[in-house]
Structures are given as C-alpha cells and as structure tokens.
Amino acid sequence: MPRKWERVPKALTIADVKSLLAAKFNDRTALRDSSMLELLYSSGLRVSELVNIKLGDIHAEAGFIRVIGKGSKERIVPVNGRALGRIKRFISEERPVILKKRESLYLFVTRTGRPMTRQRFWQMLKAVGKQAGIELSPHTIRHCFATHLLEGGADLRSVQKMLGHADISTTQIYTKVTTDRIKKVFKTYHPRA
C-alpha cells in the first residue's frame, strides 16, 4: 500500500499565481528568474528538473521540453507559449550578459556559468513571494500546476504523466485538494448546506 500524505498540499489561487508571476524581479536577472517561475508553473516541474534543463532540451517550435526526472526517467512536458516566449527572450537578451562569453549547456545559469542551484532558486522564489505577500515553496507551485489543471477539467492520468509520477496514487492527492474546494463551494452557495 502506498503511504498516505500527512497533510493535503496547499495550492494558491489562480489570482495569487498571477500576482506572483507579475512580481518585480531583481533587475540583473529579471528575465531568467521570471522565466524560471513561469516555466515552473506552466509545466509542473520539480525544482531539480528545472535547474538542470539544458539548452537542447527546449523544443519551442513543438511546444515542449524534455526533462530528466527522478530515477533518470525521461519525459516530454508541454509548455505554454508565454513561458516559451520568456525563455526565448532570456536566451537572446540576458543569458549572454550573465555568461560573459563563457559557454554552458545549461539553460538557467548563474554568473559563474554553472546552473542555478535548487537552494538559490528557493531563495529567489521566497523573496518574490514575500514581495507579492504570498508564503510559498517551490513545491507549492507544482501543487498549483496540478490542482489548477484538475480544477479546469484535466484527467488524472494526463496530470500523472506531466508530473512524472510513477504511481497514480501519488497524483490522486490533488483530487483531494479539488474535493475540498468543491465542498467549500457547496457549503457557501447551497441554500440547505
């Protein structure tokens, strides 16, 4: 039997996510940081997957990225046009400035030419969340991705594939989140609830 979650993960509202994506980023790395956040929300990646994306993993014309997930399993994840547009701008405008004529296979690089660490991304996200008045973690964004897809009508199996879960029971935690929301809506709006 798979282990049960101790608690239901917290998902932000769509309005909270929009304000987070519209937050002001550090001027020197605004395109990189906003691209990372937009990609994280539009694809549901794990932070370790996000920071390890290489330039060759982006397939903008086809609208997807190739990701190496847990257990070195490869998966193809669709990405929206907004995230791909930000990434293209970052690659052409800001990435060369950050690298200063150095070479790197990684997409999201630091001034040393190395990929950003999970910890540094967490720090950046925490600062942006604080500015937007939202307490969050990188995994919160992943929860938002899955929850918002399910609330919008996506099927559980597709969400499982996009998240890279080996077992559907891992993905089912997100149905609990949406069930709680349904109960809240029912209690709020039904005259006999």
What are the pLDDT digits (tens) for 135-165? 888 788 988 898 888 888 888 888 888 888 8
pLDDT digits (tens, 9 = 90+) for 19-61: 888 888 878 889 999 999 999 999 999 999 999 999 999 999 9
Which CATH number is 14-189 given?
1.10.443.10
pTM of the predicted model as reported, rounded to 2 decimal places? 0.83
Check if 165 is active-site: yes
Burial of 110 (0-12, 13-18, 19+ CB in 10 A): middle
State the pLDDT at residue 84. 95
Catalytic residue among 54, 126, 165, 181: 165
Alpha-carbon span 117 to 71, nearest angstrom: 19
Residues 88-130 pLDDT 10s: 999 999 999 999 989 999 999 998 889 999 999 999 999 888 8
Choose the catalytic residue: 18, 70, 102, 114: 70
70 included as an active-site residue: yes
Active site residue 174: yes
pLDDT exceeds cutoff 60 at 8: no
User: In which band, very low, low, confident or very high, does the pLDDT at 9 lie, cut at 50, 70 and 90?
Assistant: low
Q: Hunting for tokens 């790197």 — which residue is that? A: 104
Axis-axis angle for helices 14-21, 118-132 (nearest 10): 110
Return the residue matching tokens 């991705």. 145
Among candidate residues 32, 41, 148, 174, the one labeled active-site is 174
**Per annotation, catalytic residue among 59, 88, 139, 183:** 139
Query: Smallest Cα–Cα separation from 113: which of 127, 125, 126, 96?
Result: 96
User: Which residue from 113, 111, 117, 112 is spatially nearest to 103, judged by alpha carbons?
Assistant: 113
The answer to whether residue 148 is catalytic is no
The Cα 34–Cα 125 span in angstroms is 10
Residue 5: pLDDT above 70? no
Q: How many CA atoms lie less than 13 Å away from 155 in the CB half-sphere?
A: 3
Round to whole Å and give the CA distance between 126 and 135: 7
Which of 46, 95, 143, 148 is catalytic? The answer is 46
In 71-172, which residue ranges form alpha helices assigned H by DSSP? 81-89, 95-99, 118-132, 138-151, 156-163, 168-171
Q: What phi and psi values does residue 22 have, to the nearest 5 degrees?
A: -95, 0
